[in-house]
Amino acid sequence: RNRVDEAHSHREKRDELNGSVQSTKDERDEMNRSASELFKGVGNKKKEPGSKKEKPISALEKEIESLEFRQQTEVLTGGTERKLIEKIADLKEKCSEKKKELEQDREVGEKKRQAEHSRREASALHREMIRLADEAQLEHNKMIECYRMADQVRNEADEIHAKFIHAQELADFHHEWFIKVQKKLRKMDKKDESSRQSVREAARKEAKKEGEEIYERFKKGQALGTEDLMKLQKAGLL
């Protein structure tokens, strides 16, 4: 019974661990999906080899400021001023694009960090899932062993019980045989006693008859010997 209870305990632990394995697996899969989605949004913005080095935003802003100051302080011809205005507009557009790219790079970097974090979390959850699965398998093995031992004990108990029943049946058989023999012996004793009584009665009658014959001879005057006297005494005639 104790082995069966122990097996039930291991089974409960195994089922609990299997539930944890499943929930951990679900978390891991969710983390992997999240990482995959984040990595999809990450663009590999690498400059091509030999591409022209672009000015940083600070340099563009400084150049725009310088050109605007020139526009405001210098007397320019119509054509020169128009070209200056176009150049300022072009620089401002480039500066705006650079700022957008920089912001996108920040967003991409953040997504990449989040994706890598999700991947690390997924790996940690995977390791935890493996650990829980190993523990669940261990509890399962212990459960099987307990059931095996319980079956062995039960089989041994059944064997012992069968031997006990067999011994009890033999004891009952021998007891019945003893009773029968005892009854037969009692009957035989009664028969023997009856036979002995019959023999004694026959002997007594024979002795009496013989004694009466001797007594008749005595009454007729015949001499009696010692043996005759003993027979008379045995017959109860003296």
The mean pLDDT value for 203-217 works out to 75
Higher pLDDT, 151 or 188: 151
Confidence label for 193 from pLDDT (cuts 50, 70 and 90) = low
Confidence label for 49 from pLDDT (cuts 50, 70 and 90) = very low
Residues 6+ apart with CB under 8 A from 91: 60, 63, 64, 67
pLDDT at 192: 66
Higher pLDDT, 111 or 48: 111
Six token digits for residue 181: 């023999």
Share of the chain above pLDDT 90, in %: 0
Helices (H), the chain: 2-40, 57-73, 78-219, 226-234
Does CATH place domain 1-45+53-167 in 1.10.287?
A: yes
pLDDT tens column, 176-190: 877 887 787 777 767
DSSP three-state, residue 193: helix
Phi-psi region of 74 (alpha: psi -120 to 50; beta: other; left: phi over 0): beta
- Angle (CA) 187-191-194 rounded to 5° is 140
Confidence label for 1 from pLDDT (cuts 50, 70 and 90) = low
Higher pLDDT, 148 or 202: 148
Kindly report which listed range (61-75, 126-140, 147-161, 194-208) carries the lowest average pLDDT score: 194-208
How far apart (Å, rounded) are the C-alpha atoms in residues 203 and 194?
14
How far apart (Å, rounded) are the C-alpha atoms in residues 63 and 127?
56
Domain boundaries, the chain: 1-45+53-167
- Angle (CA) 159-160-166 rounded to 5° is 90
pLDDT at 167: 72
How far apart (Å, rounded) are the C-alpha atoms in residues 232 and 212?
8
Are 208 and 236 in contact by the 8 Å Cβ rule? The answer is yes
Are 67 and 90 in contact by the 8 Å Cβ rule? The answer is no
Most confident stretch, 91-95, 182-186, 214-218: 91-95
pLDDT at 232: 63
pLDDT at 51: 42
The mean pLDDT value for 51-66 works out to 75
Statement: the pTM of the whole predicted model exceeds 0.75: no
The mean pLDDT value for 165-182 works out to 77
pLDDT at 50: 40
The mean pLDDT value for 51-77 works out to 77
